[in-house]
Chain A
Amino acid sequence: MSDASDRPPERPNDRLDERLSERLAASRRPVVGVADDAELLRFSTAGSVDDGKSTLIGRLLYDTKTVFEDQVRHVEDVSRRRGDERVNLALLTDGLRAEREQGITIDVAYRYFATRKRKFVIADTPGHIQYTRNMVTGASTASLAIILVDARHGMVEQSRRHAFIASLLRIPHLVFAVNKMDLVDWSETRFEEIEDEFRNFAARLDVQDIAFIPISALTGANVVEHSRDTPWYHGPTLLYHLETVHIASDRNLIDVRFPVQRVIRPESAEFPDYRGYAGQVAGGVLRPGDEIVALPSGLSTRITRIEQLGQDLDAAFPPMSVTVHLADDLDVSRGDLLCRPNNQPIVGQDLDAMVCWMSERPLAARGRYAIKHTTRWGRAVVTDLLYRLDVNTGHRDEAAPELKLNDLGRIRLRTTTPILYDPYRRNRMTGSFILVDEANNTTVAAGMLLAPE
């Protein structure tokens, strides 16, 4: 997977400044504590090699005081030992040894930092086309994507791909961080050119919210503090944007969807008749007293109680993990779904989906796999490969005989049991699935369901 041919081109000579750690240290903010009620924001970062992604993440971690002294010392030691003339901040964010040796981020790595307002989970993903599956993985849980762009090069093929994947995975917020503004003399014209170029392209994408921020990861301009070098820029800094972007309405709070994960029945002397349906709310707002229908049986009843470890709740909404009690003893088990009578998901065995193929063994029509959708496992056969999608151009190749590792494409599946789903664009939790190769148990595809035609 990672032989010599995967290697990126050699890095240019503009290495990190020698005294970067000193400058970073000087710019460090005072100690922050995270407020108990701070929200969680998951975002992914993607960029081509050398766009400055590692430097940017290093700076975000450092300026929010997430990088500890021993980690900085460690990175300095390693840089010295490897004979680098300068401290390489990328080492802070590169995890595994093989990757460190190759000098490239291959897998998805997760990083954490927090400010007073929010806690952040970064899915740091590699940008190269042969790592599309890693990008898709990182994007699957992200509410926001930062796409790094080198101000000197503007929109390149990779940036188009990153934006395209973000829109396909329905990441609601996109940020183009136009980096290395110091190398284009902080030019407003250059920034506007890039913005125009992207806006034209992004008009064809399905993204609700797009922001453009001119930054320099190296100097820190507009990352945490506004920069005097860009007096013409009046928008938020990158960190401020991350702290304030409105994420509450990213969840589907309309369609009640409660996939049952587990039936809790203690059958103990203390709780002889207790029967609770445990799960994580995938959509809508559930309340005691609500009429609901259990699918696939179609029987209806009422919610009598919603609890969490004995504590009663007056409402449950995504992403809460709760236990629901029902008025009648219906035969509800794991894999079933509770919803409102007048707002039900699609029930189907013939599914249309976009998939990202993640295995060395290609997908071919007639391939058989295990499928996991919400809390339900089943079996599926690929009945049709409609087209392979070129992630760089958006071109649909209808003659493609198969999907290879990192390919995206549209397929049709037939499942052994009905699947209770929503189109992915309506609900990321009830609209997604994975395919698993039963011969070796590996996950081979990520799928996003489409509305039936």
Chain B
Amino acid sequence: MMRSYCRSHLRTLEDEAVHILRELAAERERPCLLFSGGKDSIVLLRLAEKAFRPARFPFPLLHVDTGHNFPETLEYRDRRVAELGERLVVASVQDSIDKGRVTEETGPRASRNRLQTTTLLDAIEDQQFDAAIGGARRDEERARAKERIFSHRDEFGQWDPKNQRPELWALYNGRVRRGEHMRVFPLSNWTELDVWQYIALEDIPLPALYFAHQREVFERDGMLYASNPHIKLLPGERIRTEVVRFRTIGDMTCTGAVASDARTLEAVIAEVAAARITERGATRADDRFTEAAMEDRKREGYF
């Protein structure tokens, strides 16, 4: 009997990501996996299981904790880490502030988003990580569209978009000099919809924040934010209760919610497929300020 040996797009993306993780594990001695508690890094964990089980992961998880996380994110993180039996390293932005490495922003629009870069780079240096696996996707933002899967960072943790290594076939070059590191993005070729479809296909549990729930929110710059202790309201802003869900999960101070009544994965997928606004455009205040916001942050060493 002839078989067609077809492979679906989701499985093809999975094959690629697993291959990337295994290459990284061979190419670098001290990698870590950046775990934010967001859906992309949750998918990374599943892919790491596919790549390395029944052995342990050849890297710890690194969480850059801004101190402004949703409590649901931290609960999820701790539960997942316990289930997997893997090592978690937490790098805290509060520590960086206390040590004087960074200065807390002030004012009602203050965010610790930008400060994370220093905390991350310090952690990479302290722990002597020579690679960090991230969940970034090329479809998220234009500056990412040209970033390599194995993306080189110099000794200052910076990305040089004009001077990237050519990346051919699936032959990744993970070589670095002392003090430099690699960022590795196994989900480069995934879209937001792929991530959701894969979560459904693999039946991966998610933090409840991703599904529609009642929450106290206020509106700012046309976006809904969760009412939270780290943010001061501007004149005219009022707290109200809405049914919302989050499309991305970052800091409480800069991650917007969308009005939605999608309470199941199927409903979320239907919404994502129909969405008319990008994930970051809809919910991330950090990308809205300047035309090249992301590109600037990435050069400095952001995720």
Q: Tell whether B55 is near chain A: CB-to-CB under 8 Å.
A: yes
Does A264 make an interface contact (CB < 8 A)? yes
The answer to whether A133 and B166 have CB atoms under 8 Å apart is yes
Complex: A134 Cα to B278 Cα, angstroms: 28
The verdict on A295 contacting chain B, using a C-beta distance below 8 Å, is: no
**Given A40-B12, A114-B191, A264-B52, also A441-B146 (CB < 8 A):** no
Stretch at the interface among A64-72, A207-215, A219-227, A388-396: A64-72
B146 touches A96 (CB 8 A): yes
Q: Are A119 and B22 in contact (CB under 8 A)?
A: no
Q: Does A253 count as interface, using CB distance less than 8 angstroms? A: yes
Q: Give the segment of A135-143, A233-241, A407-415 that binds chain B.
A: A135-143
Q: Is A299 part of the contact surface with B, judged by Cβ < 8 Å?
A: no
**Stretch with Cβ within 8 A of A (4 or more), from B61-69, B168-176, B203-211:** B168-176
Indicate if B80 sits at the interface (CB-CB under 8 A). no
Residues of B near A1 (CB, < 8 A) are 162
For the complex, give the distance between the alpha carbons of A432 and B168 in Å.
Answer: 9
Partner of B189, one of A37, A96, A110, A375: A110
Shortest CB-to-CB span from A359 to chain B, Å, is 9
Distance of B186 from chain A, by nearest CB (Å): 11
Q: Which of B113-121, B128-136, B268-276 is near enough to bind chain A? A: B268-276
Check A443/B168 contact, CB under 8 A, given A261-B26, A278-B51.
Answer: yes
* Contact indicator A141/B169 (Cβ below 8 Å): yes
Asked if B56 lies at the interface with its beta carbon under 8 angstroms from chain A, I say yes
- 8 Å CB contact of A37 from B8, B14, B168, B276: B8
**Binding-face segment, A5-13, A144-152, A316-324, A339-347:** A316-324
Q: A364 in the interface, Cβ–Cβ < 8 Å?
A: no
Interface residues in B3-30 (C-beta closer than 8 Å to A): 3-16, 18-19, 22-23, 25-26
> Chain B residues with Cβ under 8 A from A399's Cβ?
none
Provide the B277-303 mask, 1 if CB < 8 A to any CB of A, else 0.
110011000000001100100000000
B window 229-249: CB within 8 A of A: none
B189 near A121 (CB under 8 angstroms)?
Answer: yes
From residue A128, how far is it (CB to closest CB) to chain B in Å?
16
Cβ of A308: which chain B residues have Cβ within 8 Å of it? 50
Q: Are B9 and A95 in contact (CB-based, < 8 A)?
A: no
Given contacts A34-B197, A319-B7, contact A441 B176 (CB under 8 A): yes
**B188, CB-defined interface residue at 8 Å:** yes
> Which A residues touch B142, using CB under 8 A?
94-96
- A110 and B188 form a contact (CB under 8 A): yes
- Say whether, besides A70-B282, A109-B145, A321 and B18 are in contact (CB < 8 Å): yes
B278: chain A residues at CB < 8 Å are 68, 70-71
B22 touches A261 (CB 8 A): yes
Number of residue pairs spanning A and B whose beta carbons lie under 8 angstroms apart:
199
Closest residue of A by beta carbon distance from B141: A95
State the CA gap A119–B198 with chains docked (Å): 14
Tell whether B219 is near chain A: CB-to-CB under 8 Å: no
Taking the closest CB of chain B, its distance from the CB of A59, in whole angstroms, is 18
**A375-B23 contact given A140-B169, A310-B53, A443-B167, CB 8 Å threshold:** yes
- A248 pairs with B5, CB closer than 8 A: yes
- Residues on A with C-beta less than 8 A from B54 are 264, 266, 268, 270-271, 274, 310
Chain A residue nearest in CB terms to B200: A36
Contacts of A261 in B (CB 8 A): 19, 22-23, 26
Count B interface residues, CB 8 Å: 69
Q: Which chain B residues numbered 208 to 236 have a C-beta less than 8 Å away from chain A? A: none
Bound-state Cα–Cα, A108 to B168, Å: 11
In the bound complex, CA of A141 to CA of B9 (Å): 15
Bitwise, B244-263 to A at CB < 8 A (1) or not (0) is 00000000000000000000
Q: Is the pair A442, B165 in contact by a Cβ cutoff of 8 Å?
A: yes
Nearest CB in chain B to that of A31: its residue: B274
- Which of A34, A71, A429 lies in contact with B281, CB distance below 8 A? A71
B26 touches A334 (CB 8 A): yes
Q: Are B273 and A262 touching (Cβ within 8 A)? A: no
Complex contacts, B55 vs chain A, CB 8 Å = 264-266, 268, 271, 274
Chain A residues 69-92 with CB under 8 Å of chain B are 69-71, 74, 78
- Tell me if B193 is interfacial: C-beta within 8 Å of chain A: yes
In the bound complex, CA of A137 to CA of B170 (Å): 11
Closest 7 CB pairs of A and B: A70-B281, A321-B18, A40-B9, A266-B55, A441-B175, A119-B9, A33-B273
Taking Cβ atoms with an 8 Å cutoff, the residues of B that contact A are 3-16, 18-19, 22-23, 25-26, 49-56, 138-139, 142-143, 145-146, 152, 161-162, 164-171, 173, 175-177, 188-189, 191, 193-194, 197, 201, 269-270, 273-278, 281-282, 291-292, 295
A-B contact pairs, 16 of them (CB 8 A): A34-B193, A36-B8, A70-B277, A71-B281, A97-B292, A110-B146, A111-B139, A112-B139, A134-B166, A136-B168, A264-B54, A274-B55, A321-B22, A372-B171, A428-B169, A434-B166
